[in-house]
Amino acid sequence: MTRLSVNINKVATLRNARGGNMPDVTKAALDCERFGAEGITVHPRPDERHIRYSDVRIIRPLVATEFNIEGNPIPSFVDLVDEVVPDQVTLVPDAHDAITSNAGWDTLKHKDFLTEVCREFKSRGIRTSIFIDPDPLMAEGAAACGADRVELYTADYAAEYPMGPEIAICRYLETAKAARACGLGLNAGHDLSLENLAYFVKTIPWTDEVSIGHAIICDALYMGLERTIAAYLAEIRKK
């Protein structure tokens, strides 16, 4: 069964726009769990424009489901992960000034670096996932780096879905099969929504986890957070 992890970065973005503590990011994380989310994802960036390192330290001991930290493994991020010991760390090669993640790792070019990072986190008992584009070679490279899972960057799938789901998912299905053949677990995230989520999970049913933030918070403006999370869980469980 595919699990839903809610990325709460956008809640922090809204809080930071005005200062103070409204909305309360910690309460949002716990409410997501209470409403059925099976994991919480945070993606702290060096400029702390949304989730702050201090948020991560506060939220970590309170989360009862799976806690996933995403980010570029720069030294400060590595230190944070080693400190709070999440259930999962997702390695994302985003530049410090990126608005949002926009590409996966080249796991062949960066094999030595990623192998070292995977070794560090796995020594702490942390499941390690590498964020990749839909390319079977990148999945095979991630396995060679010692990763436990890959997360497929699904922006292209979401963009192409309205023009034809079968074509949109083709590269993702090939990469998912390659990951499974290498013994890797499979996550997916970026621009997954109520429109395209069910087809993705139905076509690649061995997807372990989807991490969704932006679309959930946008839908929650109209539907409310509880109804929105229920709707996403229903899409995941469609037969």
Catalytically active residues, by annotation: 43, 70, 190
Q: What CA–CA distance (Å, rounded) separates 161 from 171?
A: 12
Do 40 and 32 touch, CB atoms closer than 8 A?
yes
**64: burial class by Cβ within 10 Å (0-12, 13-18, 19+)?**
exposed
Do 106 and 139 touch, CB atoms closer than 8 A?
no
Do 45 and 94 touch, CB atoms closer than 8 A?
yes
Q: What is the dihedral of CA 137, 139, 142, 147, to 10 degrees?
A: -170
Do 104 and 131 touch, CB atoms closer than 8 A?
yes
Q: What CA–CA distance (Å, rounded) separates 23 from 225?
A: 13
Q: What is the dihedral of CA 179, 153, 64, 29, to 10 degrees?
A: -170
Q: What CA–CA distance (Å, rounded) separates 69 from 129?
A: 10
